[in-house]
């Protein structure tokens, strides 16, 4: 058992915060001492860890309480998302460090602001929230995919990658061209039919995700060739009437 003071120091959370978590039923102490002091066992510490993971993803406390209390709460999925988020934050910090070192070395003659772009982190957080928050789109996805086998999922992913092959075959054209816009509509229809109703708002979010780096961008580039992810993103933004970054 650990006292509230020990947990505060261990987790880097104030005692007042722990008291508040207790008050709203988010994190109850395991028991109290005769003097009324809070005590926490390993199970309580694990729950605190989960709470802090979701705080990193910027979830409201009321949503965290509902998520970690579910009988189907997937701890591994939550941890995988936290690892990915930290990797994105690490990459963002490294870009900022590189920019500052370059600025120190070369001065302000060539200023670049790309290192300040945190859109990858924001987009990943948004998608994570969609999954845990049980949005209508995610509920629809769960319903459509519940009876699919691993082989079905593999085939579906193959079909999706074929669409990016098609994007790659026309990537020399303007993103706003008739051909590119027709491809975006084809992608939107595919997602709506097989995953969830793909509104323009959702589609623009996916477009940003496609160029966020990592596995998703690599898969698109492998399917359609270098530059396909950026071309698809630009075409999607033109289709949705959203200014690209």
Q: Do residues 179 and 217 share a domain?
A: yes
Q: Kindly state whether residue 140 falls inside one of the protein's structural domains.
A: no
133-166 tens-digit pLDDT? 566 766 777 788 888 888 888 888 899 999 999 9
- Residue 121 confidence (pLDDT): 62
Q: Do residues 238 and 161 share a domain?
A: yes
Q: How far is CA 195 from the centre of its chain?
A: 18
Q: Kindly state whether residue 31 falls inside one of the protein's structural domains.
A: yes
| pLDDT for residue 25 is more than 80 | yes
- Residue 244 confidence (pLDDT): 61
Q: Which domain does 111 fall in, by range?
A: 74-134
Radius of gyration of the chain from its Cα atoms, rounded to whole angstroms? 22
Which pair of structure tokens corresponds to residue 93?
């910090």
Q: Do residues 165 and 239 share a domain?
A: yes
Q: State how far the alpha carbon of 161 is from the alpha carbons of 147, 165, 211, in Å.
A: 22, 6, 15
156-194 tens-digit pLDDT? 889 999 999 999 999 999 999 999 999 999 999 999 999
Q: Kindly state whether residue 118 falls inside one of the protein's structural domains.
A: yes
Beta bridge partners of 40: 2
Q: How confident is the model at residue 112 (pLDDT cuts 50, 70, 90)?
A: low
Q: Do residues 168 and 231 share a domain?
A: yes
| pLDDT for residue 109 is more than 80 | no
Q: Kindly state whether residue 69 falls inside one of the protein's structural domains.
A: no
- Residue 130 confidence (pLDDT): 63
Q: Do residues 97 and 121 share a domain?
A: yes
Q: Do residues 227 and 170 share a domain?
A: yes
- Residue 209 confidence (pLDDT): 81
pTM of the full structure: 0.52
| pLDDT for residue 110 is more than 60 | no
Q: Kindly state whether residue 67 falls inside one of the protein's structural domains.
A: no
Q: Kindly state whether residue 242 falls inside one of the protein's structural domains.
A: yes
Q: How far apart are CA 156 and CA 137, in angstroms?
A: 18
Q: Rounded to 5 degrees, what are φ and ψ at 70?
A: -65, 145
- Residue 180 confidence (pLDDT): 96
Q: How far apart are CA 104 and CA 220, in angstroms?
A: 36
């Amino acid at each position: 058992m650990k006292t509230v003071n020990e947990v505060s120091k261990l987790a880097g959370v104030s005692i007042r915060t722990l008291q508040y978590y207790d008050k709203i039923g988010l994190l109850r102490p395991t028991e109290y001492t005769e003097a009324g002091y809070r005590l926490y066992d390993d199970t309580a510490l694990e729950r605190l860890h989960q709470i802090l993971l979701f705080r990193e993803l910027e979830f409201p406390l009321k949503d965290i309480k509902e998520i970690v209390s579910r009988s189907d709460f997937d701890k591994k999925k939550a941890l995988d998302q936290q690892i990915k988020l930290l990797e994105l934050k690490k990459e963002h910090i490294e870009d900022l460090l590189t920019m500052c070192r370059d600025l120190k070395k070369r001065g302000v003659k060539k200023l670049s602001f790309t290192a300040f772009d945190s859109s990858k982190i924001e987009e990943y957080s948004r998608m994570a929230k969609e999954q845990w928050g049980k949005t209508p789109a995610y509920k629809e996805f769960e319903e459509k995919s519940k009876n699919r086998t691993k082989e079905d999922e593999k085939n579906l992913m193959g079909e999706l990658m074929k669409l990016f092959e098609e994007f790659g075959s026309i990537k020399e054209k303007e993103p706003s061209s008739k051909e590119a816009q027709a491809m975006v509509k084809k992608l939107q229809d595919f997602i709506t039919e097989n995953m969830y109703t793909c509104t323009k708002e959702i589609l623009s979010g996916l477009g940003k995700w496609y160029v966020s780096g990592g596995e998703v961008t690599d898969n698109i580039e492998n399917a359609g060739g270098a530059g396909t992810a950026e071309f698809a993103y630009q075409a999607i933004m033109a289709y949705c009437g959203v200014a690209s970054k």
